Amino acid sequence: MDLQLTGKRALVTGGSRGLGFAVAQELAGEGARVALLARDPAAVEAAAEQLRARGYDVIGVRADTARDRDVESAVAEVDDRFGGIDILVNGAAKAGGGPAKVLADLDDEDLRSEVETKVLGYLRCTRAVAPQMIDRGWGRIVNISGLAARRTGSVFGSVRNASVAAMSKNLADELGPHGVNVTVVHPWLTETEGVRAMIRTGAAARGVPEPEFAQGLAVDVSIGRLVQPAEVAHVVTFLASPLSVAINGDAVAAGGGLVGPVFY
């Protein structure tokens, strides 16, 4: 299937590793020009070089999405290099939302940090790129959230991810008539570098093989294993394409199928 992404210009935040890097690789493989954005200048440039070595048109841009001026400068830089941005994938956030804590141990500053980075960070980036998408009459904004929005276990994880979904729906209703679709992708545990490190640590602490520990983490997933970053990236890339026009304001689960709850 031709996703009609050749020549489209994409900005992927949190693009130096994990899901962001996988999404950037998939978009570039479909012919898009891609700007990776991350806080660490060395890491983002190294990630961009990996993709350039494969023949892709990719640049690295340094910015902290918790800072307005950083976001504005980064968008201006991508505009200068690419001549505009057609696609925004927001993924710059701490994975998982932190460990589960009981009420007495919750720290208000932790929630403020989560909202500043994931909710307001996504909003800053959207605010910076939306005007040009509106002017051109076309754009795609995909917000990476998480299935903690749909289950308990982490108060702050649920709050931040549900907030991203609510924000996205509001923006979709506003921007949709201008040709700009806004959607949400909810991964679950995905086998990124961070999760693999967690598996190694957990397996060693329990004295069990890593595959056995990983299988235990996947017990709530109906496909029976952890989802790979590239598999989430396939979903994001479709939503970033012109073919996804019928999906706007909705959240798409990409966690391998959580066992139990029915969403309709």
Q: What is the pLDDT of residues 135-185, one digit of tens each?
A: 999 999 999 999 999 988 889 989 999 999 999 999 999 999 999 999 999
pLDDT for 94: 78
Are both 84 and 206 inside the same structural domain? no
Contact 244, 207 (CB under 8 A): no
- Which domain does 197 fall in, by range? 191-226
Pair 139, 214 in one domain:
no
Confidence (pLDDT) at 215: 86
Single-letter residue type at 101? K
Q: Is 1 part of a structural domain of the chain? A: no
pLDDT beneath 70, residues of the chain: 96-100
CATH number of the domain encompassing residue 26:
3.40.50.720
The Cα 25–Cα 34 span in angstroms is 9
Which two tokens mark 26? 């998939």
107 and 208 share a domain?
A: no
pLDDT, one tens digit per residue, over 36-53 is 999 999 999 999 999 999
- 128 domain residue, yes or no: yes
Based on the structure, what is the number of domains in the chain? 2
CA distance 200 to 115: 29
From the DSSP assignment, how many helices (H) and strands (E) are in the chain?
Answer: 9, 7
pTM of this prediction exceeds 0.85: yes
Query: Do residues 51 and 174 share a domain?
Result: yes
Please indicate, yes or no, whether residues 54 and 152 belong to a single structural domain of this protein.
Answer: yes
Q: Which of 68, 61, 69 is nearest to 39 (CA)?
A: 61
Whole-number Cα distances in Å, 25 to 30, 47, 242: 9, 10, 18
Instruction: Please indicate, yes or no, whether residues 178 and 200 belong to a single structural domain of this protein.
Output: no
Task: Output the six-digit token pair for 199.
Answer: 């598996």
- Indicate whether 66 and 112 sit together in one domain: yes
Alpha helix (H) residue ranges in 5-87: 18-29, 41-52, 68-82
Is 184 in the same domain as 212?
no
- Report the distance separating Cα 160 and Cα 64, nearest Å: 18
Q: At what angle do helices 155-175 and 120-136 cross, to 10 degrees?
A: 20
**φ, ψ (nearest 5 deg) of residue 245:** -55, -25
- The reply to whether 243 and 201 lie within a common domain is no
